[in-house]
Structure 1
Amino acid sequence: MKPNSLRETITRAAQLLADAGVSSPLVDARLIASHLIGITPMELVFAEPPAGFDDHYAILISRRAKREPLQHILGTAPFGVHDFRVGPGVFIPRPETEVLAEWAVDLKPSGTVVDFGTGSGALAIYIAERARPAQVIGVEKSDVAVAAARENAAPFPNVRIIQGDMTDPGLLEELTGTVELIVANPPYVPFVPEEAGELEPEVYHDPLDAVFSGDDGMDAIRGLIPVAARLLAPGGALGIEHDDTTAELTRQLVEADGSFGDIRNMADLTGRKRFVTASKLSTN
């Protein structure tokens, strides 16, 4: 196949993806092609695809046209400067969570940091790499996600992945009152059945219990706030990601716990309120 015919193949694939409702069809078509060839997208213009490329490419494009997430097809998802292993059963990290990661890093933690609902481990690793000598513990309930997070975290000695439930009142009991910082990207979407057609089909390829949290999306947040209050040392910080429709409710729940002060809403890069931050009050 000559480079110009590769370009035509990618163009046809992009049209197929556009017809299927994929939001970034040309980008996805190029990424899938570069993944198969083992080069960067910028190098496609000079590429000579290997034998069998057309058949393999058609299979992957067909999967994407059925709205399987691009990250599942590629096997990785970017977050910060790294690509993390993901796949069925592992929540795909989203770019907006990098706002929470940067907030955490700006606090310059040096003690114990806990990441509730670590999924692929992306948020925990982001903080651990930028905030040494902090020791970061990623908490994840899913067996599949724990395995992926441990693989992703293997190169980072200051990250430990444990299996647990962020709403468990006895979680990390040995760390009660000693944690410097807690970040949480819990399930927070109000449940919507797939057949309702209100959400992008890709959402339903994520583990549903990592996306949805009861009819109002708040079950996990309600449960994690008292756990965070117990674990944090006086002056310790809490940052929670939430749905853009529940900013006020999340702030009210943190306030109602009575353990936190300096409670603030924080916006994502589009200006939507997507996070609540707070500081643990002194018990004295």
Structure 2
Amino acid sequence: MTKLRQAIEVATVALAEAGIDSASTDAELLAAHLAGVNRGRLAVIDEPDADFFRRYDELIGARSRRIPLQHLTGSAAFGPLELRVGPGVFIPRPETEALLEWALAQRLPERPVIVDLCTGSGALAIALAAHWPRARVIAVDDDATALDYARSNAEATTVELVQADVTVPGLLAELTGSVDLVVSNPPYIPAGADLEPEVADHDPAHALFGGADGMAVITPIARLAGGWLTPGGLFAVEHDDTTSRKTVETIENTKLFTDITPRRDLAGRPRFVTACRTKEAA
């Protein structure tokens, strides 16, 4: 067994003892990050030097203290993207890829207008812009730090970034009746929820919590989407796995949507709701 493989096995034990379910994966990903290779090439790289093992021990110590893996590597995978992330921005989750897959499967006009609300790192907006290169994609967030990450991630794209509070009625009134798709992964966790240390201690609370029932941001977003969308335009919003019914009712209460459909993530949990703007105003 090589010294590197031995170090990874020791690291796996340490991470497992720290309560990390993905201990083996994280140990290998951190080694690959330090070596500057893909995880699959760890078995064929030259034996690292002593400085590598010192730095590796430091990373494993940090991960054992439940600092997110993505903060240690500086990046997070999301669908086809590798996004820059770090302290101060919400780390995109695999659960949101189900919403992305739904959006990518929709038929939109040749030059659609797409809005991503609470964009964070820019994950949804950038992925949608890559799929529809002729689209106008507008990404909105009220947090300057998150927008700095989004700006870096979107640098080679045409995504437009807007700093604004999505709970303000009448926001971006110039978009009224002109948008083809609105997507959002907003703050939606009910206050007081029990969270893993990586989330509770390192994701910004502003991007996590949606008030007492998790609906404080979803409700105004549904109204905004209803005003912006063209007749037949599409809306998708992520929610807590306990609030699917509330999200459906919130969208119903606008009286602006039809085909309101609760949907599940890749693990089978209730995760987002989609809807279609009515053909005629209510």
Same fold (TM over 0.5): yes
Letter in 1 for 2:181: L
Match of 2:187 in 1: 187
SS at 1:276 equivalent: strand
1:223-270: per-residue Cα shift (whole Å, max 9, x none)? 211111111111111101101110001000100111111111111122
Moved more, 165-174 or 73-82: 165-174
Letter in 1 for 2:80: V
Match of 1:162 in 2: 162
Tell me which stretches of 4 or more aligned residues in structure 1 moved more than 4 Å. Answer: none
Match of 2:131 in 1: 130
Match of 1:145 in 2: 146
1:159-210: per-residue Cα shift (whole Å, max 9, x none)? 11111122121321211111111001001111127xxxx3211112111111
Q: Is 1:35 aligned to residue 33 of structure 2?
A: yes
Q: Is 1:12 aligned to residue 13 of structure 2?
A: no
Q: Is the 1:262–1:278 contact (alpha carbons within 8 Å) kept by the matching residues of 2? A: yes
1:64-99: per-residue Cα shift (whole Å, max 9, x none)? 001111011100000112210000111111111111
Letter in 1 for 2:18: A
Q: What does 1:42-81 correspond to in 2, within 5 Å? A: 42-47=40-45, 48-81=47-80
SS at 2:275 equivalent: strand
Letter in 2 for 1:93: P
Q: Is 1:22 aligned to residue 17 of structure 2?
A: no
SS at 1:245 equivalent: coil
Q: CA deviation at 1:271?
A: 2.1
Q: Is 1:242 aligned to residue 243 of structure 2?
A: no
Q: Is the 1:108–1:131 contact (alpha carbons within 8 Å) kept by the matching residues of 2? A: no
SS at 2:169 equivalent: coil
- In 2, Cα distance between equivalents of 1:263 and 1:168: 24
- In 2, Cα distance between equivalents of 1:64 and 1:117: 28
- In 2, Cα distance between equivalents of 1:267 and 1:43: 34
SS at 2:34 equivalent: helix
Q: CA deviation at 1:46?
A: 2.4
Percentage of identical aligned residues: 48
**Inter-CA distance 108–51: structure 2 relative to 1 (3 Å threshold):** farther
Q: What does 1:71-110 correspond to in 2, within 5 Å? A: 71-109=70-108, 110=111
- In 2, Cα distance between equivalents of 1:69 and 1:213: 22
Match of 1:206 in 2: 203
Q: Is the 1:262–1:279 contact (alpha carbons within 8 Å) kept by the matching residues of 2? A: yes
Match of 1:218 in 2: 215
- In 1, Cα distance between equivalents of 2:8 and 2:255: 56
- In 2, Cα distance between equivalents of 1:238 and 1:144: 26
Q: Is 1:121 aligned to residue 122 of structure 2?
A: yes
- In 1, Cα distance between equivalents of 2:94 and 2:40: 22
Aligned-residue CA RMSD (Å): 1.4
TM-score (normalised: structure 2): 0.95
Q: CA deviation at 1:274?
A: 1.1
SS at 1:52 equivalent: helix
- In 2, Cα distance between equivalents of 1:122 and 1:141: 16
- In 1, Cα distance between equivalents of 2:171 and 2:64: 41
What stretches of structure 1 of length at least 5 have no aligned partner? none
TM-score (normalised: structure 1): 0.94
Q: CA deviation at 1:51?
A: 4.3
Moved more, 41-50 or 199-208: 41-50
| Number of residues of Structure 1 aligned to a counterpart in Structure 2 | 277
Q: Is the 1:182–1:239 contact (alpha carbons within 8 Å) kept by the matching residues of 2? A: yes
